[in-house]
Structure 1
Amino acid sequence: MNNTSNIIDNKNQKMWEYLKDNIEEGSKLSIVSAYFTIYAYYELKEKFDDIESLNFLFGEPSFIKNMDLDQMQSKEFTIEDNSTNITIKNRLKQKKVAKECAKWIEEKVNIKSMVKPNFLHGKMYHIEKPGRDPRAITGSSNFTYSGLGFKNSHNIELNVYLSDQRDVNESKKWFDSIWNDNTGLVEDVKYQVLEYLNKLYKDNSPEIVYLFTLYKIFEEYVENQEKYTQQEDFQETKIWNMLYDFQKDGVKAAISKIEKHNGCILADSVGLGKTFEALAVIKYYEMKNDRVLVLCPKRLYENWNTYKGTVKDNILLEDKFYYDIFFHTDLSRDKGRAANGYLLEEINWERYDLVVIDESHNFRNKRAVKNRVTRYEKLMNNIIKAGQNTKVLMLTATPINNDLSDLHNQINFITKENDQALKNQNIERISSVVKKAQRNFDKWADEKNKGSKIDLVEEMDSDFFKLLDEYTISRSRKHIKKYYDIKKIGKFPKRLKPISIYSELDTSNQVMNYEQLNNKILEMDLSIYYPSNFVRKLSQEEYAEKHDTIVKGGTGILSQADREQNLILMLKTNYLKRLESSVHSFRLTFERLAKKHENLINKIENYKENREEYKEIDLDLNKEEYSEEEMDLLIEGKINFNLKEMRASEWLEKIKRDYKVIKELLKEANKINREKDAKLKTLIKLIEDKIKNPINKDNKKILIFTAYADTANYLYLNLKEELSKKNLEFGLVTGTGPNNSTIGLKNFEEILQSFSPKSKGKINCEKEIDILVATDCISEGQNLQDCDYLINYDIHWNPVRITQRFGRIDRIGSKNQKIQLVNFWPEKDLEKYINLEKRVKNRMALSDMSGTGQENIIEVREDEDNYLDFREKQLKKLQNEIIDLEDMDDTISLTDFTLDNYKMDLTNYLEKNKNLKHLPEGIYSIVPLPKDIEYSEDSLPKNIKEFIKPGVIFCLKLKSSKKEKVEKRLEKFNPVAPYFLVYIYDNGEIKFNYTNLKQLLEIYKLLASGGKQPYEELEKIFTKETNDGENMEKYSNLLRTIVKQINKKLNHQSMRTLGMGAGRGQINLISKENQITDEEEFELISFLIIKEKENYDG
């Protein structure tokens, strides 16, 4: 050591060098420091181990108080030293270092601490050497790795070597006077220090290491979560206390996102109770005196109205909900009365603080209509943008298939169409992220290149994960089973194999079959809905100027003809669906259609005789028979036309030709009455068999679904007497007309309560309904799990709706052991039936495709056949099994990209345990291979078992010095940057890199589940292999391999931004000098070792 100066500043002279030079065997040390760290001890271990004794005085009590895990407020311990200064090699040896340090303290060290804070600020090191003069230093250096000036430390200290022996002796007297104080100035804390050191070297359970890893990755999220839903009055509400734990977690996450971003998309799977979660969110904001608007489809009105105000039998009556309810279609009108009785022209839409949109996917189309405000535009401009900081909660169970513009349009309601809303989260433009993700989707969806979901997830930039993470919540049924205690919330019932029924139309086989009838439907042009095709050439330009709309940023035109052809396509498809539902529904539809044709034929013919009186033609369309989407097209496409400007005779000829086909179809339909209805007779037989052979003891309940109120009414009228003879009570709910039952009830909710009184909380139910026929007005938001048998009398062509229907009885906590799904199929050859729809669409190819694309209400895709093929696969599976759509290999859902389940794992644990915050970095645990331990099939699926081999899952964090230079670029590629999670086999092969975050966390969770205690046998193997933690070279080598692969992967991803056509400012190349090349650029957060048991010989 250079003795030319008495100043030791860790720049020219190092404190550790002074101590090393002056500590001798048998020395007695006295030290005052605010901190003590094990790595400072370990660097001078050879010297410290030979001393006779050390009296160590903590100058600040906060360090000792921080060791009390119940009292600690600090976010970072320093007993294991500042992580940025500790090498990974040392961190790997943390257990050994802590254990040896504890042994040394036990034998040779006494430790006391000041009781009062801010009472002693000095640092001192006093060394008594055997037979020689003592030495002393006073100054600023703490007993830490950086304070003593080791290696990576850049601290500049000011310490003075006391050269005057009198000063040295005075410093010792000063120390002794404090050390020996008996007035309460100091206290003995050796026990507390040893207790904490024990936490550093004790064996950790796999579960704790998993949760600690989550805590480090999601620390910011946890801090934000704790801000909300803590107020006692909210937690005392009826709705909050009715929720399952997973629903409460969803509510907390939704409120957090709404508070942060003004909106959230809640996309939990079917049957998980989104309506109740939304009601809890509504209550939270109503308690803040916010005005809440609920927008729902007409068929779901009663779902929401049931819980409002003083509605009879309202189970949430005490919560006094006061939200307003409007239909989606109310936004398509400016006048008239809404569902709640309000006059639409008097509504002050901008007054609402929170807008809840049920089935928000109905607003996915941002199409344009000239001279008319669409409901999308009205919602955006008149409600959300016009309001003061209006918040939005959207509910949807529709998974992502291939078109992300749907999702983007819904996100726009949250951002108020601000494309840079996530700029603070390093997402420059949301549209760019969605477009890039769409390209990846398109590539993945191409059958020629089709890979697994894992392949797609890996290809996605982390910006897409971040986008979904900021705005969406999505949990699946599988997630709930895997991540929550089913014992507390009840299990899902066992799904029996679906029963598939293939019924003919009539018993006598005298009527055309589906294909023949469809051919007849295709013969129609439906010219009654295509007036623009008959406008005279001289007037066409005028009509185009009035009604054609520029779309796609000026690159396309949506003409009036496009709208009309879209409507015709939708109507023809609807006729086929009505035929599949029931001949009765088909007959009624064509009777109404025939009447429209007759009326228009009369008007046009009268025009020839009295041109002035009949020159203005209005189709006078009956709104009741159309769906919401059809009504949108009717309203948006409806224009007044003048017969003077049309080729009236030509139009009349076409209408008459269609009318002739309609009459032929009606003739066929009229051949089938109740006695000849083969499908109805099959249904009666099914009901009889179920009653005679219940699948659960004494359960006679059956729920029958149909898409159409006409069919539901037909079934009720034709079954009620038959069922009455068998002492069975029957009910009907349609959502569009009067409800009914054989027990005298007419009220929607009363009928449902009598059908499923237990699930509806109706304790005293005098008379129960056994069989209920319903439309899709109850396919969402209803818990009808008293029932165990569901019949789809018609198959909805969207598989999502089928799972929604089954979700009424397939619910968590069901009392039924088993449940049965029965599906009526129109054809045994499903491909043949799907081809009928393809033929409809192919015949209706639009004349001007430039005007459709993403603006088209019926989503005409360039790959329409691929879409139908995709849906055909789903429907085929439904013939043999109950499917959760988000679990299908060829279906992508939000669940595949969000990390909600792991965040919920963490928040659930932190509600009862705060110790994660105070665990040291560098901890590890060991788990056995799946073949060495019993995992339940649900917790560790076979496909995961197969690729788990001996290795390590490391969690690393980029050190701040490097992070500051590359963090923004890293966040484009790694959704949890600066953290990196990697699974590497013992042979050096990386199974999952940081880009596979979802898979890594899934494996981590599954391996750690149930591991509440360390595996002692495996710990013995590890101790033997590493010489009690001394030889960690194997793990150092694995880390070096990981760092090389991280750098390689980052470079690959950087170059991909060039290939993906990144715009200016979006290219994320990391400069050579800033590339990650060394493992010491990382901190080691945690590691999970996966080992085989048989390697241990004792």
Structure 2
Amino acid sequence: MAHNFITNAEQRSLKARLQTLIQHSRELKFLVGFFYFSGWRELYEAMRSSKLISSYKILVGLDIDLRLGQVIEIAAPDAANSSQQELVGRFFASLCTALRDENLDTQDFYEQVSFFLRLLEEERLQIRKTFEPNHAKLYLFRLDEAEQALINAPGRFITGSSNLTRAGLLGQQEFNVEIGDYGWEEAEAYFDELWKTAIPLSELPRCKEQILRIIRRQTQVAEITPFEAYALILKTYLDLMEQKALRPQVKQLMEERGYKVYRYQEEAVQQALTVLEEYGGVILADVVGLGKSVIASWLARERNGRGLVICPPALVGDSKTKDTGWYKYLSDFGLFDWDVYSLGALDKVQEYLASYGDDVTTIVVDEAHRFRNEDTEAYERLSQICANRAVILLTATPFNNAPSDIFALLKLFIPSGKSTLTLDEKLAARFARYNSEFRKLSYILRYQRAGGDKQAQAEKYYAELFEQPAPVDVSLVRRRVRRLANEIRAVIEPIVIRRNRLDLKRDPVYSSEVTALSEVADPVELFYELTPEQSAFYDQVINEYFGEEGRFRGAIYQPFSYEQRTQLANLDEEGNFTYQQQRNLYEFMRRLLVKRFESSFGAFAKSIRNFINVHEHVGAFIKNSGGRYILDRRLLEKIYAADPEEIDEALEAFTHRLAQKEKLDPRHDRIYVIKDFDDPEGFLRDVRSDLALLKEINRRVQELELVSHDPKVERLIEAAGKILPGQEKPEEPHRKFVIFSEYLDTVRHIVPKLQEAFPGRVLVAQSSLSKSFFDDLRANFDAGYPSEKQRDDYDILVATDKLSEGVNLN
């Protein structure tokens, strides 16, 4: 490539070239879309150290605006008919937007702005705005006498695609050309003519004062005294910690209903009342077992007014007897005008609110982390339900996969663009940055030694985030992760109430209340032994079959990538969303098989049979429909949001639709015509190869007798025998054994073997849970149950982790 072409590739960046030219220049003239401080700071050192430059002239051709959290340049459509005052006003508004970039919030930036302000005050820096929108980028450098003699020209100039931003100078691919042997006079004349007719900004005292005032009082460099900062922080803290007076009759009611009134719960209610008043919502995120449901019920009673509780089906309770679930809490706290709905019935909630909801002022959402995906119909419905109502979210796990999980919860009660959690109100832009940085950091840590394209991408992210080349310094990445976590925590802290057992035990007030909380010992590993053949198969499943580069292609979950195979690099926003959603579905299903394999061989075998059934029905549908295939959006949402045991039901419903050729729903069904794919043969080949792989795996599971003679279950039974009654020390209480699994199929796999080993002593929680089951559960496994009602009918409890939602066995 010619030496005067500048593309920001390898070592030839526009930043480096501009720095060199600045060192040998007497005057700079820049025509740019807008004046960005991200570009200014890249050139700051060169300009500060230069002793030659007497004049900086910056001519701005466009305005900027904030769209979807991103700063973009715009050409005002009516600029030609606008007055000078209107154009100046737009420039000031654009300047405010540009200077509120969170990435500029560094110590270096404050020093660089000081230099910029000094140049303005000394009148060495002049800024003007073109009357007509101008998209050109032109950088002119009038050189010192020695350089002029060397090239026999007054100066050099650069023109091309790069704007005066960090990305334009350094980060992204651009194309610019530097010219020094001809054209200087014409280029400078073009600039000077535009300059002559442009609107003066820094040269007019009134406008210059406005620029200085905007920078000093309305941006991140606003000059705040230490006392002002202290006073603001103190006021915010005191406002949030304000102890609202609680009604004594509520405490009396709780004691009459058998509740022990804990100080840590009382103060959580007081704080939550303040947070609700300030922000319209609160997230109760105490760890499991500290009584989030009690706090929420108490909070609801203190607020008065009607409300609704939305929760998982297992927590709804009995609406007639009101002795279980949320119906019991509402009855105990005298919330007789409240009602409870399952989170699977949000359409019914909307119908109810449309008819009778004018005076419903509060919404409680239990297990709120289930609504972390904004792209689902369920989230859309819940968002509409919560609109203009106080929102109380309960979850022990507000952060599951990415910062976007938390942001999805915040959006249920914080209007977009009107957040008071941050000074700039740009919560969406802030969390977009958090999410992007989090995913890049995660990718770096995961793939920095993976080799191939993944390692190359990890190193690219590393260079982008840390501005230094590979190899990756893992300690540096981990420090950045901790810094990001602390920053997110600082933003959400005002609206999140979260304590764990250790917090309570360390508190001088709370510690005396929580002496009855159970002690949690460190986990102990249980090892089980596989035969050489089983061990080899185990490695194949994890790596060869369902690893990231494994044989399973998941074609039926991502038909879009085959349909648009040649266009994947050029997708529009909608296309990219569809591609990513289907790609995520494939990754989810691939990981699901691995997780079920690690859960139990029985669950894995059941899943493999289900997957075979789905793929066979897909093949039959394609054949019988003349080469068509459908993918149901409701299936995607169900798989993302459902409990693990409900995923199989969703897949079964999908195969039923394929088999019965049910009428298609254009709102949810996407019809794919395979012959129109960019890669039709690849799609059909991968569908067939996935089915063949699944059948091969099913055959191997049977040959190795992994289900009938499961070494993991045998080891579990051995461990249970050593823990159960008769093995405890004299000072220890009577022992109980609780087994949780994420998957119902695992429960069904291990229960018969446990019942055979411990006849009559195993209580099983699966599917729908009856009142008699909860009676047995509390009497046998709840240490807080009245001693006169406790029984010893069972020693072992086996359940899916669904039972952990709202069931306290302290």
How high is the TM-score relative to the length of structure 1?
0.41
* Pairing 1:465-544 to 2, within 5 Å after superposition: 465=490, 467-483=491-507, 484-504=509-529, 509-510=533-534, 512-518=536-542, 519-521=544-546, 522-535=550-563
Superposed counterparts of 1:1063-1082, under 5 Å: none
Q: Output the CA distance in 1 between the equivalents of 2:493 and 2:370.
A: 22
Paired amino acid for 2:585: L
- CA–CA distance in structure 1, aligned partners of residues 573 and 339 of structure 2: 35
Partner of 1:685: 718
State the Cα deviation string for residues 674-722 of structure 1 (Å, max 9, x = none): 6521011111111111124225635231000111001111222222132
In 1, Cα distance between equivalents of 2:609 and 2:305? 51
Paired position in structure 1 for 2:62: none
Which residue of structure 2 aligns with residue 721 of structure 1?
756
1:641, CA displacement in angstroms? Answer: 3.1
- Aligned counterpart, 1:248: 266
Aligned twin of 1:732: 764
Q: How does 1:623-642 map to 2 (within 5 A)?
A: 626=639, 628=641, 639-642=670-673
Aligned to 1:701: 736
* Within-5 A mapping of 1:164-563: 221=238, 225-230=242-247, 232-233=249-250, 235-238=252-255, 241-285=259-303, 288-294=304-310, 296=311, 298=312, 301-305=313-317, 310-311=322-323, 316=329, 317-321=331-335, 323-331=338-346, 352-367=360-375, 374-380=377-383, 382-385=384-387, 389-398=388-397, 403-421=402-420, 428-431=425-428, 447-449=474-476, 456=483, 465=490, 467-483=491-507, 484-504=509-529, 509-510=533-534, 512-518=536-542, 519-521=544-546, 522-535=550-563, 550=573, 558-563=576-581
Displacement of 1:252 after TM fit? 1.5
> Counterpart amino acid of 2:412?
F
2:598 aligned counterpart, secondary structure: helix
Q: Which amino acid letter does the alignment assign opposite residue 641 of structure 2?
A: E
2:764 is equivalent to residue 764 of structure 1: no
Q: In the aligned structure 2, how far is the partner of 1:720 from the partner of 1:221?
A: 57
Secondary structure class of the residue paired with 2:525: strand
1:582 Cα deviation from its structure 2 partner: 0.8
Relative to structure 1, the CA distance from residue 716 to residue 259 in structure 2 (aligned partners, 3 Å threshold; closer, same or farther) is same
Structure 1 letter corresponding to 2:554: L
Give 1:672's aligned residue.
705
Cα gap change, 1:623 to 1:533, in 2 (>3 Å): closer
The answer on whether the counterparts of 2:250 and 2:301 sit within 8 Å (CA) in structure 1 is no
After TM superposition, give the deviation of residue 597 of structure 1 in Å.
1.6
Matched-pair identity in %: 21
Letter in 2 for 1:290: R
CA distance in 1, matches of 2:577, 2:640: 22
* TM-aligned CA deviation for residue 783 of structure 1: 1.7
Quote the Cα distance in structure 1 between the aligned partners of 2:741 and 2:486: 41
Does the 8 A contact of 1:586 with 1:669 survive in 2?
no
Q: Decide which moves more: 615-624 or 391-400.
A: 615-624
Deviation digits for residues 476-520 of structure 1, max 9, x if unmatched? 32221121343333254444442101224x568556442212312
What secondary structure, in the 3-state scheme, does the structure 2 residue paired with 1:676 have?
A: coil
| SS of residue paired to 1:281 | helix
Shift of 1:533: 3.9
Q: Could you tell me how far apart the structure 2 residues matched to 1:768 and 1:390 are?
A: 46
Contact conserved, 2:701 with 2:707, CA < 8 A, in 1? Answer: no
CA–CA separation in structure 2 for the residues paired with 1:414 and 1:651: 43
CA distance in 1, matches of 2:380, 2:237: 36
Note the C-alpha offset of 1:263.
Answer: 0.9
Q: Counterpart of 1:517 in 2: which secondary structure? A: helix
Amino acid at match of 2:372: R
CA displacement, residues 45-84 of structure 1 (integer Å, 9 cap, x when unaligned)? xxxxxxxxxxxxxxxxxxxxxxxxxxxxxxxxxxxxxxxx
In the other structure, the counterpart of 1:170 is none
Structure 2 match to 1:775? 800
Query: Is 1:591 the counterpart of 2:609 in the alignment?
Result: yes
Where 1:242 maps in the other structure, the secondary structure is: coil
Provide closer, same or farther for how the CA distance between residues 346 and 702 of structure 1 changes in structure 2, counting only shifts above 3 A: farther
Cα distance, 1:622 vs structure 2: 8.2
Question: Are the counterparts in 2 of residues 582 and 711 from structure 1 also a CA contact under 8 Å?
Answer: yes
From 684, 687, 699, the counterpart of 1:652 = 684
The verdict on how the C-alpha distance between 1:347 and 1:762 changes in structure 2, with shifts beyond 3 A counting, is farther
How far apart are the structure 2 equivalents of 1:244 and 1:601?
60
Size of the alignment, in residue pairs? 519
Q: Within 1, Cα distance between the matches of 2:721 and 2:486?
A: 53
User: Residues 364 and 410 of structure 1 are in contact (CA less than 8 Å); yes or no, is this contact kept in structure 2?
Assistant: yes
Deviation of 1:229 after TM superposition, in Å, equals 2.0
Distance 1:529 1:722, change over 3 A: same
Cα distance in 2 between the residues matched to 1:615 and 1:778: 42
> Following TM superposition, by how much is the alpha carbon of 1:765 offset from its aligned partner in structure 2, in angstroms?
4.2
Q: CA offset at residue 768 of structure 1?
A: 3.2
**Structure 1 equivalent of residue 192 of structure 2:** none
After superposition, the Cα gap between the structure-2 partners of 1:470 and 1:622, relative to the gap in structure 1 and judged at 3 Å, is closer
Give me the whole-angstrom Cα distance separating, in 2, the residues matched to 1:653 and 1:439. Answer: 35
Change (3 A) 1:427 1:265: farther
Q: CA deviation at 1:657?
A: 1.4
After TM superposition, the structure 1 stretch with the greater mean CA deviation from structure 2, 713-722 or 305-314, is 305-314
For residues 379 and 350 of structure 1, do their structure 2 counterparts lie closer, same or farther at Cα, with a shift above 3 Å needed? farther
Are residues 516 and 391 of structure 1, via their aligned partners in 2, closer, same or farther at CA, if it must alter by over 3 Å? same
Q: Is the 8 A contact 1:581 1:708 kept in 2?
A: yes
Q: In 2, are the aligned partners of 1:503 and 1:682 still within 8 Å (CA)?
A: yes
For the Cα contact (< 8 Å) 2:602–2:707, is it kept in 1? no
CA drift of 1:353 comes to: 1.8
Could you tell me how far apart the structure 2 residues matched to 1:480 and 1:681 are? 39
Name structure 2 gaps, 5 residues minimum. Answer: 1-229, 442-464, 467-471, 655-666
User: What SS does the aligned partner of 1:305 have?
Assistant: coil
Unaligned 5+ segments in structure 1 are: 1-212, 368-372, 552-556, 740-744, 786-1098
CA distance in 2, matches of 1:758, 1:482: 23
Larger of the two Rg values belongs to structure: 1
Secondary structure in 1 matching 2:789 = coil
* CA distance 1:451–1:675, change in 2 (3 Å): closer
- TM-score scaled by length of structure 2: 0.55
* Structure number with higher helix proportion: 2
User: Helix, strand or coil for the counterpart of 2:590?
Assistant: helix
1:865-904 aligned at under 5 Å gives the runs: none
Q: State whether residues 297 and 333 of structure 2, in contact with CA within 8 Å, keep that contact through their aligned partners in structure 1.
A: no
Task: Tell me the secondary structure at the aligned position of residue 798 of structure 2.
Answer: strand
Give the superposition deviation at 1:320: 4.6
